[in-house]
Amino acid sequence: MKNLFVLLALILTTFGAKADDNNDGAYLDPAYENLVHPEVNDAHMYKSGLTRNNVEAVIANMTPVKSQGSRGTCSIFSAAAMLEGMLVIKKGFSTDVDLSEEFLEYMAVKGRTSDGSNSFSNFSKIAQYGMPYEATLPYVTSSWVDAPFMPQAQTRCGHLTGTQKESCLLVHFDPNLRNLLNPTSQSYSEEFVTAYDEAAQLKRENFPNLRADYWTTQLRGTTQIKQYLRAGIPLTMGHDFYYGAYNHRKAVEYGIGRDMNNWNKGIIGYPEYGSMDRKVSPQHRAGHSVLIVGYDDNKIVTTRVLMEDGTYKEFTYKGVYYFKNSWGTGSFGSQMEIDGVTYPGYGIMTQKYAHDFGSFYRLPIN
């Protein structure tokens, strides 16, 4: 019977990647409970003409867009993208630097039985442990929680029980770090030990004195946010998720309405009062985290929104943020453009959405 389950898991795994691709890879974090929305206080920037940063220059320092697969690891990917970008900008790394989200997910979520993290927690783990390279500890795109009989899941988690096993299926290793590092333990992983040591070395050589907690990473006002972006420094942003504003696939299931044109262009609108999005999305709370790479206070976007009375209304917004996403390049934002240049996998979010529902963070690497 066990062999039958293993065979079934293999079949599901074989076809799972294709299914995920068909579903556009747009998986979400649980809702964030600690968001602090920024104060809009940048009127003097408008007066001085500072209405746009050199977003193309920031994107040029970013590593390639990745896909988080079918796991709720949005904030892990935005944090990894942030660190990769900062190593390029501040430490002279090449833009092909590729760090291990698998390692950061383990450090941020181990011991828990439900997924989801946040920027300042992830940054504090980076400050504590560092991060190894992707090649040393590759990211696994599939969720073992949904397929506990996969051979690799059985190897790493099959000997555990109770909440220890639940957590292992979530983070893909025994959640007891001592067991992973102990050669006499059944959970010992030479692969993880190598990654652990490599992460510590990267930290020693590049950010030995990094302090990254809630107070040092949180940005409270839009003037500060835009000043960092003008200086070429990206920021992470965690936010409440509205399915209609994003044109997410579940917007159809929830009766909110979906605009595939804006989905392909990576345009995120706003959950207007009186819309189905504003009414229904809070009943299915979720969060998402992205890497903000730029802003343009004069950029105008238009959305078509399904209202509660069944009619559609068009809304126009002035002012956007540009962001790097973690849903791959083949679906969301596949046609995202800035001044006629396409940046697949990136997005354009109205500043109204970002300011009302988002929280911005920096990673203070000098």
Predicted TM-score (pTM) of this structure = 0.92
Give the strand pairing for 287-306 and 235-240. antiparallel
What is the Cα–Cα distance from 345 to 140, expressed in whole angstroms? Answer: 20
Cβ 6 vs Cβ 307: under 8 Å: no
pLDDT value at residue 15: 36
For residues 139, 144, 147, 149, the Cα torsion angle rounded to the nearest 10 degrees is: 100
pLDDT value at residue 94: 98
Q: What is the DSSP string of 321-361?
A: EEEE-SB-SSSTTTT-EETTEE-TTEEEEEHHHHHHHEEEE
pLDDT value at residue 23: 61
Model confidence pLDDT, tens digit, residues 324-358 = 999 999 999 999 999 999 999 999 999 999 999 99
**How many residues are recorded in the chain?**
366
Q: Residue 350 has which token pair?
A: 């109205």
SS (H, E, C) 223-287: HHHHHHHHCCCCEEEEEECCHHHHCCCHHHHCCCCCCHHHHHHCEECCCCCCEHHHHHHHHHCCE
Q: Residue 227 has which token pair?
A: 């000043």
Q: Residue 360 has which token pair?
A: 């911005």
Residue 354 has, within 13 A of its CA and on its CB side, a CA count of: 33
Low-confidence ranges of the chain (pLDDT < 50): 1-22
Of the chain, the end-to-end C-alpha distance in Å amounts to: 56
Q: Which residues pair with 238 in a beta bridge?
A: 289, 359
> What domains can be seen in the chain, in order of their start residue?
32-361 (3.90.70.10)
pLDDT value at residue 201: 98
pLDDT value at residue 43: 77
